[in-house]
């Protein structure tokens, strides 16, 4: 699904520029920041490491950069092993969190820094072109503190990219920007990546950012990679409760496996019988075993109880009463109190609003069984939610 | 009613008036020093106003030994600044950038000279020199000055290096600068204001030191010692000339630096 | 395409020998520290040890000194010079209080009220430093001269009758009285009070004042409950930076005072440089150091600011 862009340089040498991490881990004293993990980032891809703060994503990135020495395992860039190379000898560049622009140098010299350190004399043309690429040609002689946050961010990208690294590492590069600028810069970074074809490894805690930009996302939690895949895959078919909750919102209900019929799994949740495809269940499917059944809020339709007979057959149904309705323009967010789940979330598009759907109304929730997924009931259904984070789920590993 | 407004004004600006009073208290001696640099005293002492004269300004070195002591003080201050700045900067970097044993004792060793009355330091250093049979003079004074300036440099540089984002150095390393290049191109330029502040402080402290110097100078005479001696034998007007000139020089330098900074900011801003 | 398998955790931590050598030398900090720390050890710490040993020696200049554990030197010194010790504490203490009272409004003025004059006022506070402090102290001789305008004004405002009553002045003179010495000490160490005060006041967010006002605090309450507590670090380091050097000072007492205003610094100085009674001088100096260290430690403990460096 990820198409590998092979640049002219690598085609000539026949060398692939994948980043390969093998059994790489990091411990600080008795604290394990990153559990030994294997990870391959294909050349030319836009790869995101997503997780809450302290999950080990930044540490992983810094081990690729050489700023942190792994406690175990190896790092390969293409065929070259770089595990113990100092950062200044690695063909890798980083866009730092809050940019780390040199305050005593102007924009031009910031961008030229890497070239000059490698002994390149005539930098003027290259720097000029690079500044044009990030649309900062006019600002070359300003000092970093005279630029806006978005401009500083682009300088940081230019300063790294001018060295034509094999891999560009981005450590929360948009964290310091406001929402609107962040959106704009996401598209901008995506454009630059497509233009230069360099592998980007992007660390972020913003799930929307990761999904918008990356071809492949690895969701990290507590020093481990929970799940890895294209954004749509992760969203539609989460395999752990953490992924289900951290990427968007999920309604999770505890159910008991009733029977397996062909490709489908039939489960009982309270008085309701629900169906889900076996392929979308990552839990062991033994009859009578517990399973967490999940469904995304926007997949659910809401029908007033009086019209229950108009719902087509073959859909999963749950009954309940609306406890709150929040109008947010494009959609309305309902919370429904149902016997199987006390706060079932439903996002309904504002196409034809039924005026009867107000708090207190009895409703039927129904959705296509194909949108249901099943998770191992042995995990906490709250993992990855805001309550989880507040309860001390955040670690202190990544710095 | 008409009384209320001035009262309220007074209450609101009481702190300003008090502050200005203190400022006057601080500056009054300098005014006196300047005015009396134009005096023509009758006796040996320049404490009472007699008549206006620019004689001392025309012959600033007209007193035996004064300009010699001034140049000696400048020499000592330059070398002491250099020594204390180099050693202090090294210590500051070690303290901020590295973890090592004996951190606590080392911090105390740096703090103590600042918390020690000068007589104690001067007197104890003299006992050491006497025990070693060292010849008191230029070198003993220089050693003493480097010793008491060191802690102040460490404090000034440390504050600057501590506030420096460690990611800047990582960024330099990431951009192909080896350890030496990183230090020269990034660390040192960014720490420079702290080092400069430390050096300036060391220069001022060394140049103006009297108590410690008096213990360890032997028969060498620095400028503060010359002034001290003249307080006993008779104060020439020329010391007021030197004092005034130094004050004006300092103010002009600072104002000039500020003007240059302002213009640069305006041009690039 | 992208592959992921969780590697099994290693059974035991990798043996130390297999671990790669650390890139940065472990000894680097020691090399950086060595020259400076050695300097301080040899020329600051070692002299204190020498001084301690000198204080328990007996002998004379001609015959040389021997360590005889003559602790009586301490007792004798204290017995003979307790008035000077007491004066040192009193004068330095009064000067410190005066510095705080005079310095606080100025620091406050620079931090909150000076506006665009801030830099100029700051320069004016620091600039006198560049005129040798001895020259400036001599100027006080002119300012406080008998029958001069300053003394005349103090006299007519009945300030002198108050100080007379306190034993700080005698009759219609200021020069050669304790008041002159305290005045000089205050003047000399005032910038050391103002600068730390300013630093800690400047860090206070101006919005805190507004917040306090919003919560029904009068300006005076705001100062008492918000501003002053937040400036405590500056008050603590300012008082220390003033009291410590002031208590060991002998220049002000010598130039502005009389034989009746001698402080302990004067005694140490003359014992060392004129009378050449090294054991007594060393004992006095050691006592001063000990007294100051104890006072400073207690003070820092009480005020709860441990990190002054």
Check CB contact of C24 with chain A, cutoff 8 Å.
Answer: no
User: Model confidence over A96-109: pLDDT tens digits?
Assistant: 988 899 999 999 99
Q: Which residues of C touch B27 (CB under 8 A)?
A: 124, 128
Residues C34 and C170 in one domain: no
Rounded-to-integer distance, Cα A264 and Cα A293, Å: 13
- Do the Cβ atoms of C10 and A47 come within 8 Å? no
Q: Look up residue C231 and give its two tokens.
A: 């400036």
The alpha-carbon gap from C10 to the nearest alpha carbon of chain A, in Å, equals 8
The alpha-carbon gap from A93 to the nearest alpha carbon of chain B, in Å, equals 6
In a domain? residue C266:
yes
Chain B: residue whose CA lies nearest to A66? B174
In a domain? residue C12:
no
| Chain A contact residues (CB < 8 Å to B) | 65-67, 86-89, 92-94, 96-98, 100-104, 113-114, 117-118, 141-143, 146, 159-160, 163
What domains lie within chain A, and their CATH numbers?
Answer: 8-236 (3.40.50.300), 250-382 (2.40.50.100)
Per-residue confidence (pLDDT) for residue A122, from 0 to 100: 86
- Do the Cβ atoms of B176 and A163 come within 8 Å? yes
Residue C139, φ and ψ in degrees, nearest 5? -60, -30
E strand spans, A243-386: 251-261, 264-269, 272-277, 290-295, 301-304, 316-327, 331-338, 341-349, 362-367, 373-376
Rounded-to-integer distance, Cα A113 and Cα A162, Å: 10
The alpha-carbon gap from A214 to the nearest alpha carbon of chain B, in Å, equals 23
Residues C173 and C207 in one domain: yes
Quick one: average pLDDT of A73-77? 92
Whether residue A341 has pLDDT greater than 60: yes
Segment among A210-214, A358-362, B45-49, B244-248 with least mean pLDDT: B45-49
Quick one: average pLDDT of A237-249? 91
CA atoms within 13 A on the CB side of C258: 11
Quick one: average pLDDT of A390-398? 43
What is the model's pTM? 0.79
Q: Which residues of C touch A35 (CB under 8 A)?
A: 6, 9
Based on the structure, what is the number of domains in chain C? 2
Instruction: Give burial (CB, 10 Å; 0-12/13-18/19+) of A376.
Output: middle
Q: Out of B29, B94, B250, whose CB is closest to C143?
A: B29
Residues C139 and C254 in one domain: yes
Q: How confident is the model at residue C20 (pLDDT cuts 50, 70, 90)?
A: very low
- Do the Cβ atoms of A40 and C23 come within 8 Å? no
Query: Which of A23, A29, A84 is best to mutate for the C interface (most C CBs within 10 A)?
Result: A23
In a domain? residue C140:
yes
Q: Which residues of B touch A117 (CB under 8 A)?
A: 175-177, 181, 185
Domain of residue C64: give its range.
30-70
Q: Which residues are CB-neighbours of A324 under 8 A, at least 6 positions away?
A: A334, A335, A359
Check CB contact of C18 with chain A, cutoff 8 Å.
Answer: no
Q: Return the CATH fold of B63-235.
A: MetI-like fold (1.10.3720)
Contact C7, A73 (CB under 8 A): yes
In a domain? residue C3:
no
Check CB contact of C35 with chain A, cutoff 8 Å.
Answer: no
Q: Which residues are CB-neighbours of B177 under 8 A, at least 6 positions away?
A: A88, A113, A117, B185, B186
Residues C291 and C255 in one domain: yes
Q: Which residues of A touch B182 (CB under 8 A)?
A: 88
Q: How confident is the model at residue C76 (pLDDT cuts 50, 70, 90)?
A: confident
Per-residue confidence (pLDDT) for residue A393, from 0 to 100: 42
For chains A and C, CB pairs below 8 A equal: 55
Quick one: average pLDDT of A243-248? 90
Query: Which of C4, C6, C13, C16 is best to mutate for the A interface (most A CBs within 10 A)?
Result: C4
Q: Which residues of C touch B92 (CB under 8 A)?
A: none
* Chains adjacent to B (≥3 CB pairs closer than 8 angstroms): A, C
Q: How confident is the model at residue C187 (pLDDT cuts 50, 70, 90)?
A: very high
The alpha-carbon gap from A234 to the nearest alpha carbon of chain C, in Å, equals 14
Q: Out of C4, C8, C22, whose CB is closest to A39?
A: C4
Contact C111, C195 (CB under 8 A): no
Contact B127, C281 (CB under 8 A): no
In a domain? residue C231:
yes
User: Model confidence over B116-141: pLDDT tens digits?
Assistant: 899 999 999 998 998 888 899 999 99
Q: Which residues of C touch A69 (CB under 8 A)?
A: 20, 22-23
Q: How confident is the model at residue C305 (pLDDT cuts 50, 70, 90)?
A: low
Q: Which residues of B touch C176 (CB under 8 A)?
A: none
Residues C129 and C249 in one domain: yes
* Chains adjacent to A (≥3 CB pairs closer than 8 angstroms): B, C
Q: Which residues of A touch B168 (CB under 8 A)?
A: 100, 102-103
Q: Which residues of C touch B104 (CB under 8 A)?
A: none
Whether residue A306 has pLDDT greater than 70: yes
- Do the Cβ atoms of C1 and A37 come within 8 Å? no
Chain B: residue whose CA lies nearest to C102? B22
Check CB contact of C6 with chain A, cutoff 8 Å.
Answer: yes
Q: Look up residue B265 and give its two tokens.
A: 């900011």
Contact A75, A82 (CB under 8 A): yes
In a domain? residue C214:
yes
- Do the Cβ atoms of A36 and C20 come within 8 Å? no
Q: How confident is the model at residue A120 (pLDDT cuts 50, 70, 90)?
A: confident
The alpha-carbon gap from B99 to the nearest alpha carbon of chain A, in Å, equals 15
Quick one: average pLDDT of C107-114? 90
- Do the Cβ atoms of C1 and A42 come within 8 Å? yes
Residues C83 and C61 in one domain: no
The alpha-carbon gap from B264 to the nearest alpha carbon of chain A, in Å, equals 11
- Do the Cβ atoms of C2 and A4 come within 8 Å? no
Per-residue confidence (pLDDT) for residue C304, from 0 to 100: 61
Domain ranges of chain B: 4-55, 63-235
Whether residue A399 has pLDDT greater than 50: no
Long-range contact list for A178-185, CB < 8 A, 24+ apart?
A: A178/A149, A181/A149, A181/A150, A182/A206, A182/A209, A184/A150, A185/A150, A185/A153, A185/A154
Residues C97 and C61 in one domain: no
Per-residue confidence (pLDDT) for residue A294, from 0 to 100: 92
Segment among A3-7, A348-352, B28-32, C175-179 with least mean pLDDT: A3-7
The alpha-carbon gap from B259 to the nearest alpha carbon of chain A, in Å, equals 19
- Which positions of chain B have pLDDT values less than 50? 1, 269
* Chains adjacent to C (≥3 CB pairs closer than 8 angstroms): A, B
Query: Which of A72, A221, A224, A226 is best to mutate for the C interface (most C CBs within 10 A)?
Result: A72
Quick one: average pLDDT of C90-96? 95
- Do the Cβ atoms of C273 and B215 come within 8 Å? yes
Residues C78 and C48 in one domain: no
Per-residue confidence (pLDDT) for residue C23, from 0 to 100: 44
Per-residue confidence (pLDDT) for residue A54, from 0 to 100: 83
Q: Which residues of B touch C102 (CB under 8 A)?
A: 18, 21-22, 25
Rounded-to-integer distance, Cα A157 and Cα B171, Å: 12
In a domain? residue C211:
yes
- Do the Cβ atoms of C268 and B123 come within 8 Å? yes
- Do the Cβ atoms of C7 and A1 come within 8 Å? no
Per-residue confidence (pLDDT) for residue A397, from 0 to 100: 34
- Do the Cβ atoms of C1 and A2 come within 8 Å? yes
Task: Tell me which residue of B138, B122, B143 sits closest to B210, measured CA to CA.
Answer: B122
Q: How confident is the model at residue A391 (pLDDT cuts 50, 70, 90)?
A: low
Per-residue confidence (pLDDT) for residue C204, from 0 to 100: 86
Rounded-to-integer distance, Cα B51 and Cα B39, Å: 6
Chain B: residue whose CA lies nearest to A118? B176
Rounded-to-integer distance, Cα B217 and Cα B139, Å: 9
Chain C: residue whose CA lies nearest to B239? C135
Task: Tell me which residue of A332, A335, A362 sits closest to A349, measured CA to CA.
Answer: A332
- Do the Cβ atoms of A103 and B181 come within 8 Å? no
Find the CATH number of the domain harbouring C123. 1.10.3720.10
Check CB contact of C15 with chain A, cutoff 8 Å.
Answer: no
Helix (H, G, I), strand (E, B) or coil at A171: strand
Residues C54 and C200 in one domain: no
Rounded-to-integer distance, Cα B135 and Cα B144, Å: 14
User: Model confidence over C230-281: pLDDT tens digits?
Assistant: 898 899 989 998 999 999 999 999 999 988 899 999 999 998 888 888 888 8
Q: Out of C1, C4, C23, whose CB is closest to A225?
A: C4
Residue B100, φ and ψ in degrees, nearest 5? -160, 170
Residues C95 and C80 in one domain: yes
């Amino acid at each position: 699904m990820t198409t590998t862009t092979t640049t002219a340089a690598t085609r000539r040498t026949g060398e692939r520029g994948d980043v390969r991490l093998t059994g790489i881990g990091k411990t600080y004293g008795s604290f394990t920041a990153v559990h030994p993990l294997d990870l391959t980032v294909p050349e030319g891809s836009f790869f995101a490491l997503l997780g809450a703060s302290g999950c080990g994503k930044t540490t992983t990135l810094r081990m690729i950069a050489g700023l942190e020495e792994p406690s175990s395992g190896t790092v390969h860039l293409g065929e070259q092993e770089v595990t113990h190379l100092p950062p200044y000898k690695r063909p890798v560049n980083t866009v730092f969190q809050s940019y780390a622009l040199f305050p005593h140098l102007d924009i031009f010299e910031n961008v030229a820094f890497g070239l000059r350190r490698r002994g390149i004399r005539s930098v003027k043309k290259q720097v000029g072109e690079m500044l044009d690429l990030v649309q900062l040609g006019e600002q070359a002689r300003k000092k970093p503190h005279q630029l806006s946050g978005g401009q500083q961010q682009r300088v940081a990208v230019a300063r790294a990219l001018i060295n034509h690294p094999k891999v560009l590492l981005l450590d929360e590069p948009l964290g310091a920007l406001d929402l609107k600028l962040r959106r704009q810069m996401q598209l901008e970074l995506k454009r630059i990546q497509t233009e230069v074809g360099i592998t980007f490894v992007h660390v972020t805690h913003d799930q929307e950012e990761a999904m918008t930009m990356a071809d492949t996302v690895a969701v990290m939690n507590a020093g481990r990679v929970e799940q890895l895949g294209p954004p749509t895959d992760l969203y539609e078919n989460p395999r752990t409760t953490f992924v289900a909750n951290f990427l968007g919102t999920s309604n999770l209900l505890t159910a008991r496996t009733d029977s397996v019929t062909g490709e489908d799994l039939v489960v009982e949740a309270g008085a309701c019988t629900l169906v889900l495809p076996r392929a979308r269940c990552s839990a062991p499917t033994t009859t009578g075993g517990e399973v967490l059944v999940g469904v995304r809020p926007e997949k659910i339709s809401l029908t007033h109880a009086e019209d229950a007979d108009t719902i087509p057959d073959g859909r999963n149904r749950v009954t309940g009463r609306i406890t709150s309705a929040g109008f947010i323009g494009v959609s309305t967010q309902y919370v429904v109190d149902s016997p199987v789940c006390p706060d079932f979330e439903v996002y309904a598009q504002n196409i034809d609003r039924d005026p009867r759907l107000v708090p207190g109304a009895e409703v039927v929730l129904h959705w296509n069984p194909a949108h249901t997924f099943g998770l191992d009931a042995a995990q906490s259904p709250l993992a990855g939610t805001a309550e989880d984070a507040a309860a001390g789920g955040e670690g202190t590993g990544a710095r | 009613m008409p009384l209320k407004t001035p009262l309220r004004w007074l209450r609101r600006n009481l702190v300003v008036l008090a502050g200005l009073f203190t400022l006057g208290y601080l500056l009054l001696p300098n005014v006196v020093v300047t005015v009396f640099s134009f005096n023509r005293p009758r006796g040996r002492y320049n404490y009472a106003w007699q008549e206006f004269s620019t004689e001392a300004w025309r012959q600033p070195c007209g007193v035996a030994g004064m300009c010699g002591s001034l140049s000696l003080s400048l020499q000592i201050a330059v070398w002491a600044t250099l020594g204390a700045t180099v050693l202090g900067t090294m210590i500051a970097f070690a303290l901020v950038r590295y973890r090592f044993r004996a951190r606590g004792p080392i911090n105390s060793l740096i703090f103590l000279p600042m918390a020690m009355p000068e007589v104690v330091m001067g007197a104890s250093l003299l006992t050491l020199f006497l025990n070693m049979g060292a010849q008191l003079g230029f070198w003993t004074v220089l050693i003493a000055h480097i010793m008491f300036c060191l802690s102040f440099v460490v404090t000034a540089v440390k504050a600057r290096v501590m506030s420096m984002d460690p990611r800047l150095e990582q960024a330099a390393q990431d951009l192909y600068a080896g350890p030496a290049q990183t230090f020269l191109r990034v660390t040192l330029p960014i720490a420079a204001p702290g080092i400069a502040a430390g050096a300036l402080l060391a220069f001022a402290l060394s140049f103006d030191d009297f108590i410690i110097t008096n213990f360890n100078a032997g028969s060498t005479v620095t400028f503060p010692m010359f002034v001290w001696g003249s307080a006993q034998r008779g104060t020439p007007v020329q010391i007021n000339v030197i004092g005034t000139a130094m004050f004006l020089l300092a103010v002009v330098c600072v104002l000039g630096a500020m003007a240059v900074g302002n213009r640069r900011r305006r041009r690039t801003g | 395409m992208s592959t992921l398998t969780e590697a099994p955790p290693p059974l035991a931590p990798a043996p130390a020998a297999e671990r790669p050598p650390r890139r940065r030398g472990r000894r680097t900090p020691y090399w950086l520290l060595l020259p400076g720390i050695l300097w301080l050890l040899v020329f600051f710490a070692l002299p204190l040890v020498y001084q301690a040993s000198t204080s328990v020696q007996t002998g004379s200049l001609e015959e040389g000194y021997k360590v005889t554990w003559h602790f009586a030197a301490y007792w004798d010194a204290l017995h003979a010079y307790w008035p000077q010790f007491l004066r040192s504490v009193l004068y330095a203490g009064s000067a410190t209080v005066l510095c705080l009272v005079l310095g606080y409004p100025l620091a406050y003025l620079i931090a909150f009220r000076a506006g665009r004059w801030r830099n100029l006022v700051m320069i004016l506070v620091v600039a006198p430093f560049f005129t040798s402090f001895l020259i400036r102290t001599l100027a006080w001789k002119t300012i406080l001269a008998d029958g001069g305008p300053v003394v005349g004004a103090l006299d007519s405002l009945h300030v002198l009758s108050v100080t007379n009553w306190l034993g700080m002045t005698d009759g219609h003179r200021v020069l050669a009285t304790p008041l002159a010495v305290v005045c000089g000490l205050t003047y000399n160490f005032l910038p050391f009070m103002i600068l730390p005060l300013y630093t800690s006041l400047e860090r206070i967010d101006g919005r805190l004042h507004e917040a306090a006002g919003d919560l029904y605090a009068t300006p005076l309450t705001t100062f008492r409950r918000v501003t002053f507590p937040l400036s405590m670090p500056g008050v603590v380091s300012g008082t220390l930076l003033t009291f410590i050097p002031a208590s060991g000072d002998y220049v002000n007492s010598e130039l502005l005072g009389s034989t009746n205003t001698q402080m302990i610094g004067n005694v140490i100085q003359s014992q060392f440089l004129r009378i050449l009674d090294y054991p007594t001088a060393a004992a006095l100096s050691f006592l001063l150091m000990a007294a100051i260290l104890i006072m400073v430690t207690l003070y820092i403990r009480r005020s709860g600011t441990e990190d002054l460096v």
